[in-house]
Amino acid sequence: MKKSLLMLCFFLIGITNAQNIQSPSKNIRVDFNLNADGTPQYAVSYKNKLVVLESKLGIKLKEGGDLVSGLTIDNVKNTSFNESWKPVLGEQSSIQNHYNELTVSLSQKATQRKINIIFRVFDEGVAFRYDFPKQPKLNYFIITDEITQFNLAGNHKTFWIPGDFDSQEYVFNETRLSEIDNDKLNLNNGIALKTIGGKTVVQSPLMMKSDDKIYLNIFEAAVVNYPVMHLNVNTKNFELTSFLVSNAIGDKAYLQAPCVSPWRTIMVSDDARDIVSSKMILNLNEPSKLDDTSWIKPMKYVGIWWEMHVGESTWDYAGSQNASNVLDQSLKPTGKHGATTENTKRYIDFAAKNGFDGVLVEGWNTGWEDWAGNWKEEVFDFVTPYPDFDIKAISEYAKSKNVKMIMHHETSGSVANYERHMDRAFENMVKYGYPAVKSGYVGRIIPRGEFHDGQTMVNHFNYAARRAADYKLMLNSHESSRPTGYSRTYPNYIAAEAARGNEFNAWSTGNPPDHETILPFTRLLGGPMDYTPGIFEIKMNHYDPKKTEQVHTTLAKQLALYVTMYSPLQMAADLPENYEKYPDAFQFIKDVAVDWDESKYLEAEPGDYLTVVRKAKNSGKWFLGAITDENARNSEIKLDFLPKGKKYKAIIYEDAKNAHWQKNPIAYKIKTVEVTSKSAIKLTLAPGGGTAISFEPVK
Amino acid sequence: MKKSLLMLCFFLIGITNAQNIQSPSKNIRVDFNLNADGTPQYAVSYKNKLVVLESKLGIKLKEGGDLVSGLTIDNVKNTSFNESWKPVLGEQSSIQNHYNELTVSLSQKATQRKINIIFRVFDEGVAFRYDFPKQPKLNYFIITDEITQFNLAGNHKTFWIPGDFDSQEYVFNETRLSEIDNDKLNLNNGIALKTIGGKTVVQSPLMMKSDDKIYLNIFEAAVVNYPVMHLNVNTKNFELTSFLVSNAIGDKAYLQAPCVSPWRTIMVSDDARDIVSSKMILNLNEPSKLDDTSWIKPMKYVGIWWEMHVGESTWDYAGSQNASNVLDQSLKPTGKHGATTENTKRYIDFAAKNGFDGVLVEGWNTGWEDWAGNWKEEVFDFVTPYPDFDIKAISEYAKSKNVKMIMHHETSGSVANYERHMDRAFENMVKYGYPAVKSGYVGRIIPRGEFHDGQTMVNHFNYAARRAADYKLMLNSHESSRPTGYSRTYPNYIAAEAARGNEFNAWSTGNPPDHETILPFTRLLGGPMDYTPGIFEIKMNHYDPKKTEQVHTTLAKQLALYVTMYSPLQMAADLPENYEKYPDAFQFIKDVAVDWDESKYLEAEPGDYLTVVRKAKNSGKWFLGAITDENARNSEIKLDFLPKGKKYKAIIYEDAKNAHWQKNPIAYKIKTVEVTSKSAIKLTLAPGGGTAISFEPVK
């Protein structure tokens, strides 16, 4: 007894107010201290240059006083961690998780409360979280604010979208930090529901580049039982403060100790490729909770979906989507309903013929005739098909063709209704053999007053993934909060939308040519996105001469997106008849893998370009994707990623000479060359263009 | 075409701004008009005397203008209705539904919107509702307020409880309307969660008596997809205004036309017995939606419940109910857990031996060790038993003894969590053969910001009843919003608590002796209450000499409550060992019926006394219950309700001569006399006492 007491005293005496920790590479260093008020502060330097100046940390509580000042250090602990793990699906078959950790245990004398701050420093960035240990004086508590600061060293260039509580489906703005201003945005952008938190509130991941060419990215990982963190930017001094999304009554998070906040992350590098290739966010999440993951499969799919976006058919059987206002109650089929038995069989045939794993069908169930925009609680029951959709016959037909059906559950934001029906909905999927569900959350949330990004909804999305896992179902959520790596923990959560997808090109101002060069530096850091690439009929006047909308890429770039936008769930989004018009280009979509052993980002600059090569899982094939923004681009790629001494047939799908996303988007050419690891390939990308390459081993 | 146009003109010309309608008996008359502002007004007279002076009607909307003024009459329609229907369970085997109806169709020129006001006038009162027909200019809408007024003719005596959004478990206050003041209440009343709407807001049913001895009762019927209506009292001019319970963000109701409001009801009579015996509230609800009701059975039950209230055992296995704060995580059984396999079998044996239908067990499932008062979302999963509760063995044992088990689902107010688990919970009940569930809603509601009486929760309680019906389960909800006749529509919703039950006598200031004389005029008008009568060990010092709490009745009154408090679900709430001490008195509880062919209220005065006789369903037996308040009472009852010429053995359970609820509560005597329809019986009730009589036909 005496001995341990002595050791404890020695230990306490050894603690100073200033602590620091470095990355394994020693390029990144975090300095921690308590200021004169007993407020925790940290700073981050990269290669001996401060990139985050002294910044405050703390949590405000609804009851019993804030955990912001009056803190003293009880203990510090330094540890290191280095191991690799195998994701079920991923960009690489093995992921290294290597960091140094500093835990600072703090207590507040006045309240006898304790809080720990845990730092992890990886080679590509810093993470920290608040940890609330089990303790007598803090059991249940309500967080009213988090004052976490990121005090940036300069007026960096940023790629930002407004801090909206209900949507991330914005075009990125590329400005200096000082120029952030949501009031100046053109909000005629195709987003129906917008709830912007304030003039200078932006979303994370926030990608930045300093004048001295340091890339910085602020984000979060493992958002579990906590709201989404946006960032409030001081446009004068470039101090960013956490801005948590509130619930219906203005609270931020309801917690019970022991518990932790999500990780707040700061990636930093002088090479942009380190940011896009980082697995830090995944590493900061808990390992898989699922023992058996054999049923989790990557999927390439087609579906009854784009035809509704381009106006060729409708989700609803009766044609108005707001038939409630029609005084005549009867639903008269318009003949334009997409999800018919016949049309579904056509897609199943197409999928079977071309080797696709799955077929998604939207608009198969009742409710679409009066679903949107009215905060209606009971819209869908998730089990009743429209009279022209024979779910049993379709399910049997798909099975006979060895094609998997993907269920669609649009909730219209009425989560209360979805949770009430979820077990019945999932049982129905099991009954008809649907292994995957695409969920949708278009509209204001019910419980009313909640937001898509609040704690309630974060919990819902995670619950849906867990409950789906109970039924061995894969989940792809649309209009959800953006992922922060939970797919490591529940690998059946295979994809999400949660950013501005390809669909906006069909009926809005669309996605500018640089959009897909920014997503890998932002949205994709948290997990795969169901972007739905593969549009061949680029211009919507194909369907209606009056239409002026178009996809803002060349056709070749649409192919490249299958490689640049990592997802184990990839749609070939265009209509079968459009693919049949361009069978040579379509061949790439048929060939490309969606699950990988290895990925190498060869060239990357946010907002400008991205080139990546990936080795298909359990295969000798490699695929390359290269994209550019609105500017043409030439580069030469060394093929030294290929195994030495092996010959490959490289099938190159590239923009034709006169191609241009706007003026001539469909012009592509395909050539085949034989290459080895010693070869180089010249990439020639048109404005808004791209290149896709398959490398097949020559036997 | 021309002809119908002419007819329409004629019809319109025939409409005047003033309309009226009378009850079938012509005792009640409603006058309707539009004032100069085009605001609807009504007045009610009883036997040619105004009881509700001119009072305004109208609805305020969030968008597009209020439906309060600028209205004109488009049409009026008068109809009559008279039919009888058979409730599945009830106070009588057949219920007459007889009323005259006036529908006034209104429109608002400025908005081109329409609203109808429908009046129904019964012999015992008036009902009216707002009806929103399907129309082009009003589809989805949000109600922000209802301005329905009840402009009373005088400063009546009232029996009121404060307008709390989360609880009705109050003692009634008996004052003049002018004396209503929630600020003066002693709120140290055992109610944990209170959310009182304002100084002069009271709940309905509001029972009143005028100086000229007219009984008035303001309530509502068929509260479906709408919040509960409280009443804001102007204590100067006695004008009452509807006060709807809001949701998390201050809205009152989300509706879509066509739809209706609940019925606002005003019962009026110069005979108090007309109020307690009225079936108006049930009649105003929709007929049963269930085709097969054969599985809906009345139940007399015992259970593991009162022993927790008196402190003999605990709900939780580990003893603290807030074990989360115990730093040692392990749950150490205290040995005081009530819901053990052994104890449950003891109750099953007791039920089987004494002819009870069911056994309720509370505290059988995990969660109770950390459940209350912390707004915790995930407490119970509703399926996992504590390690000392062998649900399979118990279910088999109960079956072997022909006893039904009653499941308990405490939600701790976390309705989001309950709805998520409801299907699993109900499937678990079906699996183990539990035909009925008692649900509980102790604590603040989750979704956070919602109240027990808001639209969200009203919808939840009704949903739970409907979903239970899908599984053929009977529902008894505690801490729910108070019923308004929905048990007609879903007769499996057999009972609710929703008022101050007998339990408060175990551990709080309790229920004063007049409490049970007021409930039939208030809470019971909406549907059966699970009051849990039958306490024989009246004083809590029986369990612990330090305790001063007690039931505020005599033992004989506890017996009488089985008859005066109608419910098809009645608990014999005391412990088996207490019943075994008083086998002669216990005989009444064993004998008394819970479902009836006929009921006659012989004497009734709110706050003072009640005497009722009932004929058991499909039986020749009659039962009488008579109760008094804190005053002793003598009366003589003519037995002319008995069939003529038949002899009956009347077993009379009455207060002993020196009985007194406080000084000598257990003193009772039992005598048997032979009677016929020509006999009379003298009732002698002690202060806080009662009399119970069984009439058995002599063969």
**Mean pLDDT score across all residues of chain A:** 95
Q: What are the chain A neighbours of B140 within 8 Å (beta carbons)?
A: 324, 374-376
Residue A364 lies in a domain: no
CB atoms within 10 A of CB A225: 19
* Mean pLDDT across A232-261: 98
Residue A59 lies in a domain: yes
Pairing type for strands A436-440 and A404-410 reads: parallel
* Mean pLDDT across A363-370: 94
pLDDT in tens, A526-540: 999 999 999 999 999
pLDDT in tens, A22-36: 999 999 999 999 999
The pair of structure tokens assigned to B697 is 């036909």
**B254 at interface of A, judged by CB pairs closer than 8 A:** yes
Residue B243 lies in a domain: yes
Chain-chain contact of B416 with A416 (C-beta, under 8 angstroms): yes
- pLDDT > 80? residue A39: yes
In this prediction, what percent of chain A has a pLDDT beyond 90? 94
CA dist A130 and A244 (Å) reads 14
For residue B629, what pLDDT is reported? Answer: 98
Out of A227, A261, A283, pick the residue that ends a domain: A283
Strand partners of residue B259:
B132
Set B362, B503, B549, B654: catalytic member: B503
Strands (E), B298-435: 299-304, 358-361, 404-410
CB contact at 8 A, A560 and A691 = yes
CATH code, domain carrying B672: 2.60.40.1180
**A456 at interface of B, judged by CB pairs closer than 8 A:** yes
CB contact at 8 A, A202 and A218 = no
For residue B615, what pLDDT is reported? Answer: 98
Chain-chain contact of B447 with A375 (C-beta, under 8 angstroms): no
Residue A603 falls in the annotated catalytic set: no
Instruction: Give me the residue from B329, B423, B456 closest to A424, CB to CB.
Output: B423
CB contact at 8 A, A245 and A451 = yes
For residue B9, what pLDDT is reported? Answer: 40
Chain-chain contact of B448 with A249 (C-beta, under 8 angstroms): yes
Instruction: Give me the residue from A248, A256, A327 closest to B134, CB to CB.
Output: A327
Question: Which candidate, A568, A574, A594, A429, places its Cα nearest to that of A495?
Answer: A568
- Which three-class secondary structure state does DSSP give residue B489? helix
For residue A546, what pLDDT is reported? Answer: 97
Q: From B140, which residue of chain A is nearest by alpha-carbon distance?
A: A374
* Mean pLDDT across A560-572: 98
Residue A315 lies in a domain: no
Length reported for chain A: 699
pLDDT in tens, B464-506: 999 999 999 999 999 999 999 999 999 999 999 999 999 999 9
For residue B345, what pLDDT is reported? Answer: 98
- CA B374 to chain A, closest CA, distance in angstroms equals 7
Q: From B326, which residue of chain A is nearest by alpha-carbon distance?
A: A136
Q: What are the chain B neighbours of A419 within 8 Å (beta carbons)?
A: 416, 419-420
CA dist A197 and A203 (Å) reads 10
User: Which stretch of DSSP H or E encloses residue A288?
Assistant: none
Choose the mutation target among B252, B254, B324, B325 for the interface with A, i.e. most A CBs under 10 Å. B325
Strands (E), B180-221: 201-203, 206-209, 215-221
For residue B17, what pLDDT is reported? Answer: 85
Quote the distance between the C-alpha of residue B32 and its chain's center: 31
Q: What are the chain A neighbours of B136 within 8 Å (beta carbons)?
A: 325, 327
For residue A322, what pLDDT is reported? Answer: 54
Print the SS3 string covering B15-43. CCCCEEEECCCCCEEEEEEECCCCCEEEE
Residue A611 lies in a domain: yes
Q: B624: left (phi > 0), else alpha (psi -120 to 50), else beta?
A: beta
- pLDDT > 60? residue A305: yes
Instruction: Give me the residue from B139, B254, B459 closest to A324, CB to CB.
Output: B139
Question: B205 preceded by cis ω (within 30°)?
Answer: yes
pLDDT in tens, B270-301: 999 999 999 999 999 999 999 999 999 999 99
CB contact at 8 A, A666 and A658 = no
pLDDT band for position A332 (50/70/90)? confident
Choose the mutation target among A114, A247, A256, A428 for the interface with B, i.e. most B CBs under 10 Å. A256
Burial of B250 (0-12, 13-18, 19+ CB in 10 A): exposed
Size of interface A-B (CB pairs under 8 A): 84
Q: From A326, which residue of chain B is nearest by alpha-carbon distance?
A: B136
Sign (positive or negative) of CA dihedral B472, B478, B480, B481: positive
For residue A329, what pLDDT is reported? Answer: 55
Instruction: Give me the residue from A134, A248, A424 closest to B248, CB to CB.
Output: A248
Q: From B449, which residue of chain A is nearest by alpha-carbon distance?
A: A249
Set A503, A516, A537, A654: catalytic member: A503
Q: What are the chain A neighbours of B449 within 8 Å (beta carbons)?
A: 247-249, 449
Report, as ranges of residue numbers, the positions in chain B whose pLDDT lies below 70: 1-14, 319-330
Instruction: Give me the residue from A251, A420, A448 closest to B247, CB to CB.
Output: A448
Chain-chain contact of B419 with A420 (C-beta, under 8 angstroms): yes
Q: How many domains is chain A partitioned into structurally?
A: 2
Out of A283, A303, A328, pick the residue that ends a domain: A283
Chain-chain contact of A448 with B248 (C-beta, under 8 angstroms): yes
CA dist A546 and A544 (Å) reads 5
ipTM of the prediction: 0.95
Choose the mutation target among A322, A420, A446 for the interface with B, i.e. most B CBs under 10 Å. A420
Residue A344 lies in a domain: no
Question: Which candidate, B618, B614, B620, places its Cα nearest to that of B646?
Answer: B620
Quote the distance between the C-alpha of residue A655 and its chain's center: 28
Sign (positive or negative) of CA dihedral A425, A427, A433, A435: positive
Q: What are the chain B neighbours of A325 within 8 Å (beta carbons)?
A: 136, 139
CB contact at 8 A, B184 and B471 = no
pLDDT band for position A335 (50/70/90)? confident
Using CA atoms, how far residue A579 sits from A314, A559, A582, in Å, is 21, 12, 5
The torsion of the CA quartet B540, B542, B545, B551, rounded to 10 degrees, works out to 20
Residue A26 lies in a domain: yes
For residue B334, what pLDDT is reported? Answer: 79
For residue B699, what pLDDT is reported? Answer: 85
Q: From B328, which residue of chain A is nearest by alpha-carbon distance?
A: A134
CB contact at 8 A, A285 and A483 = no
Residue A269 lies in a domain: yes
**A374 at interface of B, judged by CB pairs closer than 8 A:** yes
* Mean pLDDT across A254-272: 98
Measured at the CA of B210, the angle between CA B208 and CA B211, to 5 degrees, comes to 145
User: Which stretch of DSSP H or E encloses residue B459?
Assistant: helix B455-470
Chain-chain contact of A134 with B448 (C-beta, under 8 angstroms): no
CATH code, domain carrying B9: 2.70.98.10
- pLDDT > 80? residue A7: no
Chain-chain contact of B448 with A251 (C-beta, under 8 angstroms): yes
**B369 at interface of A, judged by CB pairs closer than 8 A:** no
Q: What are the chain B neighbours of A134 within 8 Å (beta carbons)?
A: 327, 329
- Which range of residues forms the domain containing residue B675? 552-561+583-699
**B295 at interface of A, judged by CB pairs closer than 8 A:** no
CA dist A561 and A691 (Å) reads 9
CB contact at 8 A, B486 and B228 = no
The pair of structure tokens assigned to B117 is 């006001």
Out of B260, B283, B306, pick the residue that ends a domain: B283
For chain A, the maximum distance between any two Cα atoms, rounded to a whole number of angstroms, is 88
Chain-chain contact of A324 with B256 (C-beta, under 8 angstroms): yes
**B423 at interface of A, judged by CB pairs closer than 8 A:** yes
CB contact at 8 A, A136 and A260 = no
For residue A318, what pLDDT is reported? Answer: 82
- Which three-class secondary structure state does DSSP give residue B259? strand
